[in-house]
Amino acid sequence: MSKLVLAYSGGLDTSYCAKYLSKEKGFEVHAVSVNTGGFSSEEIKSIEEKAIQLGATSHTSIDAVQIFYDKVVKYLIFGNVLKNNTYPLSVSAERIVQAIEIVNYAKKVGAKFIAHGSTGAGNDQVRFDMIFQIIAPEIEIITPIRDNKLAREEEIVYLKENGVDYPWEKAKYSINRGLWGTSVGGEETLTSEKPLPDSAYPSQLQEKSPSEVKLTFEKGELVAINGVKNNPVANIEKLEAMASKYAIGRDIHVGDTIIGTKGRVGFEAPASLIIIKAHHLLEKHTLTKWQQYQKEQQGNFYGMLLHEGNYLDAVMRNIETFLTDTQKTVSGDVFVGLYPFQFRLHGISSKHDLMTDAFGSYGEVNKGWSADDAKGFIKILSNSGKIYNHVNND
């Protein structure tokens, strides 16, 4: 039997792959799950038991939450990355780390084949295949769902015929949880006009009384919540638990897929949205105009390349170096109000706040220049417009 490593999540697609590849194709299937957040030890244990029941020879769970933060999430925060000004790249960012961990495992155990459950109509097939081909071009990639153009209903029928009960209600919505948010796909997201029902989102409204939370950043990283220090991963998880009770962070992202089609996906990402917006507000106070401008260009570019699976391109390390350097003065507290279905940025406090009154107060009084200085400045500033209008008689 040929040794095959399967990227296994425990969902419908990878459950089908585990059964099909072991039973129909005779592979020695070694299922590998990469935890990038959102799973308890009990859930990981359940995923392992299910993989073995489906025919896998072994199951390995790799804890990559800290790696995910260090290698990806940190830079998404530094860059204030929101795809199409909406989506915090919750799942697309995870896939990169998952693919790297899985292919490294396959090389470690000497597997000649590696498989994943992506369809031929989405982005994940590109992300997985690119990482696999770059790191281990000698390993053959197997993709049953893509190659056989299988619909979810067909997968369920096959599993039932082989003694595995996978109810349609469970498969109706495709939910992917992780440290940086949860994506939700269903029949509604296949259309352009239908919203996801409230019940499709994993968190429901529990708290209706408003509250305020203080987020403390040091050099761009979230180091404390309400004055209690902890590592950034623990703080993200803590904020997620607090904000999800308000059903904050729901939206639907519409974007261009890597393969050229338009796509919609729902998501719930309270912690990531709050952190990015709070971090961005702190930067508005602590960075210069041109730092902010250049960061916006590089952050968007970084997010686009990451989204499209180009994480291993050398330019990504260059951008990470730039983004890290911009965070030297991004330290202070941000005060955020939590309300049902929304949050509000109340303000910041930082020793690096450039909104100092030492030179004047906007719209009120000037201390660092005279009226004549202002008049001369404005006169010189208008020169290019005067010259253009004079030459062109406009």
Q: Is residue 171 scored above 70 in pLDDT?
A: no
pLDDT band, very low/low/confident/very high, at 173 (cuts 50, 70, 90)? confident
State residue 91's pLDDT score: 87
Contacts of 265 (CB under 8 A, 6+ apart): 87, 91, 183, 184, 185, 189, 252, 253
Query: Could you tell me if 164 and 19 are in contact, meaning their C-beta atoms sit under 8 angstroms apart?
Result: yes
Contacts of 275 (CB under 8 A, 6+ apart): 77, 215, 222, 236, 239
What is the mean predicted confidence (pLDDT) over 370-374?
90
Model confidence over 151-161: pLDDT tens digits? 888 999 999 99
Separation of first and last alpha carbons in the chain: 80
Rounded Cα gap, residues 337 and 346, in angstroms: 7
Model confidence over 129-150: pLDDT tens digits? 999 999 999 999 999 999 999 9
pLDDT band, very low/low/confident/very high, at 331 (cuts 50, 70, 90)? very high
Rounded Cα gap, residues 352 and 356, in angstroms: 9
Mean pLDDT for the chain? Answer: 94
Q: Is residue 87 scored above 90 in pLDDT?
A: yes
Domains of the chain: 3-176 (3.40.50.620), 205-349 (3.90.1260.10), 360-392 (no CATH)
Rounded Cα gap, residues 207 and 58, in angstroms: 42
State residue 360's pLDDT score: 65
Rounded to 5°, the CA angle 84-285-290 comes to 65
pTM: 0.93
